[in-house]
Structure 1
Amino acid sequence: MQKQSYRIDNWFFVPHENRLVLDEQEILIDNRLSNLLLFLCDNPRTTLSRDEIIDHVWKGSILTDQVITQAIFELRKILKTNNQHLQGYIITVPKRGYKLDTDVEVINEDKPAPTIQSATPKILEVNTEQKSNVTAKEKVPPKQINEDENPDTAVKPAKSLRFTSLLAMVGALIAMVVVVVFFNRADIAKQPSVETVVYGALEPRFIEASIDNSLDNASLQNGIIFKVIEYLKYNVNYRVSFNPKDHSIAAKKLSFIVTRENGIDYVNIEYFNKISNYQHLDRKYPISEEHLKHSIKLMIDDVLDAFNIDIAKSEIDLVLREMPSDPKALALSLEVIGTLHSYDKQFDAIDLLAKALEMDPTSHYLLSMNYTYNMAIAYLGKSNLSIDSINALNSDFEKVLPLLTDSPESFKVYEAMALYALSKDLPIEAVQYLNQIPHTHNTIMTFILRAKLAESFGNPASAEEFYYQALHESGTPRVLDIAESLLFYSDLSKMRLKLQSQLESVVEDKN
C-alpha cells in the first residue's frame, strides 16, 4: 500500500512516522494525535462528530468528552505555532463536532515529504563550492599583456569592473536596508506600543481592555462585550481593567472594535500579549438578535483558545444560563448591561428592564436586576426619594420572592435578597444571602452591600475597603454617588479627597 504524507499550508505531516515538519524543524507526536490528525486530513473542511472521531481514531472505545477535548486542544496548540492560522486550523462547530478548516494536499511516496537538514551540511556545501571556484580560477592561465600595450590601459578595465561591482553591492545593500526599515516600520505600526511597559512587572492574569465604538447607539454590542469580560473575570478569574493607570502592568491586551458594514453590526476582538509582543487573535463576529447566545459563546471560546485555556463547551454554555431564553428579552437584557456601563444612559436601563420582563416575566435574572436597579435609582434621586416609593418596590419584590427562593437560577437573586433584607433592617439575613455568592462573582453591588453591612456593624475600615473594591471594579468615581446614597447616607468625603489628591499629584508629575 502506498504511503502518503500531507501538506497543511507550510506544515508537512508524515502519519506513518508520527511526525510534523515545519521550516526544517521536526515535531514528533504520539500515536493518538497522529491518528486524529490523519482522520482530519482525510476529511478536510468536513464537520466530524465526536462519535465519528471515536470510531475512527479510538476504534469505538468508551471515552469521556474530556479525552477528545484534550487531544483537540493539544493538536491545535501544535498547529498554530506556524502563525498562519491563529485558531490552530481545527475549529469547533457548535453541537456538531470539529472541522479541519483548511485545504490539504496529499503527497504520495514518489513526492516525499522533506527530511530534516542540519545547519552543518549546508555550511559545508557552501565551502565546497567556494573551493571549487578558487581551483577553477587557478587553472585559468593569466592573460598575457602585450609589450606594445600600455600597462595602464590594460589595467583600467579591471579597475572599472571592480568599481562597477562595488557600486552594485552598495546599491543592493542600500535597497536591502530600505526594505528592512519599511517592513519593520509596518510591523511597528501594526503592534501596540509597549515602550512604557516594564517586562518584569507584567502580570499574566491582568487584562488591559478597551472598547472602540464608532456607532451612535451600540448598547447591545457593548452589553455583549461586557458579558464576555464578565466571563473572564468571574469564571476564569482574570482581572480586567479599563483604567489606563493599570495598563502598564497588564500582560494581556483585549481590544473590542464595534463597526457597522453594509447594514450588519460587527464586534472585532483583538488579543495582543505584551510578554511575547505577539497578536494571537484578530477576528470579526457578526451580531444578530437571533444568534446572540451563539455569538457570545463563540467569542468566549476563541478568547480562551487564544489564552491557551481549554474549557469544555458545556461549561461555557453556563455563562448564559441565567439570561432570558427569549431572543428579544435576551437582546434587551444585554442592552441593559451596555447602558449600565454608560453613566449618561443609566436611567434608560429602567425602561429596557421593564420591556424585557414583559417578554420573560419569570426570569430570575430580570426580576432581580429590575428590583436592585430600581432601588438604586430611587435612593440616588435624593430629592425625589420617598418612603412610599421604596415600600412599593419592596411590596412588588415580596410577590416574586417565592419564585426566586425556590432554586435561584442566578447569583443576582442573592444580591437582590440581601438588598431587600437590609432595607428591612435585617443585616444578619443580608449576610447569609451575600455569603451564597462565590467570591469570584462579587459585583459592584455586592461590594457596596458588604460595605453597608460593615458600616452597620461599626467597622468603618472594612467599609472603606469594600467601597474601594466597588470603585476599582467600576473604574469610575461616579459609583460613589450610588454607594453614598443607597439605603442610608454614607460619608465618603474622605475617599473623594484621597482620589482628588492622587489625581492632582499625577497632574503635577506630568507637568
Structure 2
Amino acid sequence: MKNQKIQFEIDDWIFIPSEDKFILHHEEFIIDHRLSRLFHFFCDNPHTVFSRDELINEVWNGSILTDQVITQAIFELRKILKQHGSHPFGYIVTVPKRGYKLDAMVQKVIETPGPIITNEPAKLKEGQEENVTQSHVEDDDLFVQSDQSRENITFKLAPYRWWLLGAALLTTLLVVHHYFQSKPPTTLPKTVESTITPSYLSYEPRYIYVVSTESFLNDHLKVGIARKLLDYLKTYRDYRIIYDGPAAKVAANELRFTSIERNGHQYLEIEYLNRVSGDKHLDRRYRISEGYVRQALERSLEDLLDSFNIGIGKSQVEGLINELPESEEATSAALESLGAAFQAHYDEKALHLIEYASKIAPENQYVISTAYMFKLSEIYLRPTEDTLNKVKALNADNGPIFEHFEQTQPLTPRLLEAMSMMAMSKDNPLEAKRHLVNIAHDRRSIMFYILSAKIAESTGNRSAAEEFYYHAILEASTVQVLSLSEVLFFNSDLSDIRNKITSNLADGSL
C-alpha cells in the first residue's frame, strides 16, 4: 500500500529503512543505502542464518561480485550498533562456517495515513430519494460522509457526481489545449546544457578523506600527531579514514594537514571541509615546537570535535591526552615514532624513538606497551634461527613490568593489547582473548583486530579470522597490515584475502 511507513524496533533502537537511519534515545544515525538494505533484510528474517552468497543474492540480486562487500557492511553495521547500544555483537551474530543471523526480537510497525474525512453533510435537492444502503457509500472512496449524512444520500447522486467530474476534466483539457495553441513558438524554453553537480546523497557521511602535503609527510612528528588525532576522532564516532582510491571521491568530509614554519617555529595547520555543505568548519594552526606538543594535541582535538559537532566533555579529552607521558620530550618521541611507523623504510627509526621514550617515562603504560609491541613485531617480521629465544627474553623483561602496572594502575587499552600479544607469543589464545574483551568497543585499534584474527585462527575459526583481518584493513585503510598479520606468532596464508581486497580496490567496490 502506498504511503506506508515501515519501521522496526529492536530493544531501544528504531530502524526506519525508507530514511536509511537508526534512532536511539532521540539521537539519529544516518547510514548509507547499502547498509539499510542489508539490515532491512535481516529485520524481515530474524534468527535465520544466511551465508554471504545468500545475502548477495537476496539483498543485491547477485549484482555485487565479492563477499567482501558483505563483510564490510556487517562490520559497519555492528560498529554503529555496538558502539551506542548494549548488545555485545551489535545484534548481528557470526555463525561459524555458516554465515550471519540477526539475534534479536524484532517488532515491525507499519504506519498508514488515514483517509481525509469531511464531516460536512451533503445537500440534497428536493425530490431526491433517501433510500441508499450504507455499504454502497463506503465503497465510494471519493465521497466519504458521516454516518448521519449517509442516511440522506441517494443512489442517483453517484452518476451525477461522475458527470460533473467528467465535465470538469473536459473543460480543463480544452483550456490547456487553447493555451498552448495560442502561445507563439518563440516563447518555448530552449534546451540548455546544465552542469551536473554531485548530489549530497552521493556523499558518504562516515568517510573522512585525508589530504596532506609532501612537506607534512616528511615530518614524522606531525604525521604522528595527525594519526593520534584521527584515532581519537574515531573513538567518538564511526568514521572511516580514506587516504586514496575511489572512496575518496564520495567522502563527505575532508581533512587537510599542512606543515608550516614561521619565525623559527613549527606549526601544524588543520583544515576541515564539509563537502556536503561546501563550508569550511576549521582552519587553524597549532604550534608544536619548543614544548607545545601536548598542548597542540589537546587543543586541536577539542577543535576537531567541535567542528564535527561531537559533544565531548573537556575532562574526557584530558583523559585521552593523559594516557601519553607527562614529559613533553617523551610524548614528542612517542608521537614521532608513531608517524615513522606508518612510513615505509622507517621502522628502525620508529623502534629507536619509542625505546627512547620508554627510558624517559618508564612508568607510562603507553610508551612501555608500544615499545614491547614494536619489538615483538620486529622479531616476527625478521625471523632468525634464534627467534624463539628472542621472544622469551623480551617477555622475561616486560612480564614483571606488566604485572606491576596491573597491580598499581588502571589498565589502558594499549597495555591490554600488549598483554594479549604476550599471551599469544606464549601460545595461550584463551588468555589473550581475556585481555582483549576488556577493551571498550570505541577503543579498538588495528592491532586489536589483528590479534582477534590470530586468536580465531589458532582455535580453528577461519571464517571469523577472515572477518577480523578485513576489519583491520578497514581501520588501517591499507592492505599492508596483512604483511605483519601473516608472520605474527605463526605463519598464515592470507593471499586469498589480499587478492580479494586488492581486486575490490581496483574496481572501486570498497
- Same fold at TM > 0.5: yes
When residues 198 and 383 of structure 1 are mapped into structure 2, their CA distance, relative to the original with a 3 A threshold, is: farther
TM superposition shift of 1:382? 2.8
Q: Is the Cα contact below 8 Å between 1:340 and 1:346 reproduced in 2?
A: yes
1:15-30 equivalence runs, <5 A? none
Per-residue displacement from partner, 1:359-408 (whole Å, max 9, x unpaired)?
A: 11111111111111111110011346621111111111112122221233
Q: Is the 8 A contact 1:329 1:357 kept in 2?
A: yes
Q: Is the 8 A contact 1:419 1:449 kept in 2?
A: yes
The residue number in structure 1 matching 2:19 is none
**Displacement, 1:409?**
4.3
Alpha-carbon spacing, 1:196–1:419, altered in 2? closer, same or farther (3 Å): farther
Is contact 1:197-1:249 (8 Å) kept?
no
Deviations, residues 285-306 of structure 1 (Å, cap 9, x unaligned): 1212412121111111222222
Q: Pick closer, same or farther for the CA change 1:246–1:311 going to 2, 3 Å.
A: same
- For structure 2, the residue ranges without an aligned partner over 5 or more in a row are 1-194
Question: For 1:208 and 1:504, how far apart are their aligned partners in 2?
Answer: 18
- Work out the CA distance in 1 between the residues paired with 2:317 and 2:196: 36
Residue pair 1:215, 1:260 contacting (<8 A) in 2 also: no
Q: Tell me by how many angstroms 1:462 deviates.
A: 0.9
- Matched with 1:268 is 269
Residue aligning to 2:500: 498
Point out which structure has higher relative CO (alpha carbons under 8 A, 6+ apart). 2
Amino acid at match of 1:471: I
> Which one of the candidate residues 429, 432, 437 is aligned to 1:435?
437
| CA apart distance, 1:446 | 0.7
Provide the C-alpha distance between the structure 2 equivalents of 1:310 and 1:371, rounded to a whole number of angstroms.
34
* Pair 1:230–1:419, CA change in 2 (3 A): same
Correspondence for 2:322: 321
Counterpart Cα distance in 1 of 2:325 and 2:506: 45
Paired position in structure 1 for 2:470: 468
Q: 1:381 to 1:271 in 2, by over 3 A?
A: same
Matches within 5 A, 1:84-233: 197-214=198-215, 217-233=218-234
**Cα distance in structure 2, aligned partners of 1:384 and 1:250:** 47
Pairing partner for 1:408 from 399, 402, 410:
410
How big is the shift at 1:243?
3.3
CA contact (8 A) 1:471 1:477 kept: yes
Which residue is equivalent to 2:332? 331
**How far off is 1:466 after superposition?**
0.8
**Residue 125 of structure 2: aligned partner:** none
Pairing 1:423–2:440 present: no
Matched AA of 1:404: F
Deviation sequence 1:325-354 (CA, Å, 0-9, x none): 111111101111111211221221111111
Q: Which amino acid aligns with 2:503?
A: S
User: Does residue 365 in structure 1 map to residue 373 in structure 2?
Assistant: no
Letter in 2 for 1:267: L
Partner of 2:392: 391
TM-aligned CA distance change 1:249 to 1:387, over 3 Å = same
Partner of 1:37 in structure 2? Answer: none
Match in the other structure for 1:168: none
Runs of 4+ displaced beyond 6 Å? none
- What is the Cα deviation at residue 324 of structure 1? 0.6
- Aligned-pair distance for 1:240? 2.4
TM-score, normalised to structure 2, is 0.58
User: What is the CA distance between 1:482 and its match in structure 2?
Assistant: 0.3
Q: Distance in 1 between matches of 2:198 and 2:386?
A: 48
Deviation at 1:245, TM superposition (A): 2.6
Shift of 1:498: 1.8
Matched residues in 1 for 2:386 and 2:475: separation? 27
CA distance in 1, matches of 2:213, 2:388: 42
Distance in 2 (alpha carbons) for counterparts of 1:389 and 1:196: 58
Post-superposition shift, 1:506? 6.2
Q: What's the offset of the Cα at 1:415?
A: 0.4
Whole-Å separation in 2 of the counterparts to 1:501 and 1:216: 27
| Structure 1 position 197, deviation (Å) | 4.5
Query: Aligned pair in 2 of structure 1 residues 280, 427: CA closer, same or farther (>3 Å)?
Result: same
Relative to structure 1, is the Cα distance of residues 303 and 426 closer, same or farther in structure 2, using a 3 angstrom cutoff? same
Q: d(CA) in 1 for partners of 2:218 and 2:487?
A: 30
Question: Residues 196 and 441 of structure 1: is their aligned pair in 2 closer, same or farther, counting only changes over 3 Å?
Answer: farther
The CA distance in 2 between the partners of 1:321 and 1:490, in whole Å, is 37
Q: Which amino acid aligns with 1:317?
A: E
Q: Which residue of 2 aligns with 1:70?
A: none
Cα shift at 1:219: 1.0
Letter in 2 for 1:425: D
Letter in 1 for 2:324: M
Q: Which amino acid aligns with 1:347?
A: E
Distance in 2 (alpha carbons) for counterparts of 1:196 and 1:307: 24
Q: Measure how far apart 1:317 and its partner are.
A: 0.9
How many residue pairs are counted as aligned between the two chains? Answer: 314
CA distance in 1, matches of 2:222, 2:250: 28
1:298 counterpart residue number: 299
Contact 2:236–2:310 (Cα < 8 Å) also in 1: no
Name the CA distance, whole Å, in 2 between partners of 1:195 and 1:490: 48
Corresponding letter in the other structure for 1:262: N
Q: 1:306 to 1:408 in 2, by over 3 A?
A: same
**Alpha-carbon distance in 2 for matches of 1:355, 1:197:** 49
* Residues 477 and 251 of structure 1: CA distance in aligned 2, closer, same or farther (over 3 Å): same
The alignment's TM-score, normalised by the length of structure 1, stands at: 0.58
CA displacement at 1:275 relative to structure 2: 1.2
Q: CA deviation at 1:215?
A: 5.4
Amino acid at match of 1:416: A
Identify the residue that residue 250 of structure 2 maps to in structure 1. Answer: 249
Question: Shift of the alpha carbon at 1:322?
Answer: 0.9
Provide closer, same or farther for how the CA distance between residues 230 and 505 of structure 1 changes in structure 2, counting only shifts above 3 A: closer
Cα deviations by residue, 1:110-157 (Å, 9 ceiling, x for unpaired): xxxxxxxxxxxxxxxxxxxxxxxxxxxxxxxxxxxxxxxxxxxxxxxx
Query: CA contact under 8 A between 1:255 and 1:269: conserved in structure 2?
Result: yes
Root-mean-square deviation (CA, aligned residues, Å) is 2.2
Match of 1:440, SS?
helix
C-alpha distance in structure 2 between counterparts of 1:414 and 1:497, whole Å = 32
Q: CA contact under 8 A between 2:202 and 2:250: conserved in structure 1?
A: yes
* Compared CA separation, residues 423 and 497, structure 1 to 2 (3 A): same
How far apart are the structure 2 equivalents of 1:297 and 1:237? Answer: 21
CA contact (8 A) 1:198 1:249 kept: no
d(CA) in 1 for partners of 2:385, 2:226: 34
- Which residue is 1:459 aligned to? 461
Any conservation in 1 of the 2:267–2:289 contact (CA below 8 Å)? Answer: no
Letter in 1 for 2:226: I
Quick one: distance in 2 between partners of 1:273 and 1:195? 19
Contact 2:241 2:477 in 1 (8 A): no
The CA deviation at 1:235 is: 3.2
Give the counterpart of 1:446 among 445, 448, 453.
448
Task: Note the alpha carbon deviations across 1:66-122, whole angstroms, 9 max, x for none.
Answer: xxxxxxxxxxxxxxxxxxxxxxxxxxxxxxxxxxxxxxxxxxxxxxxxxxxxxxxxx
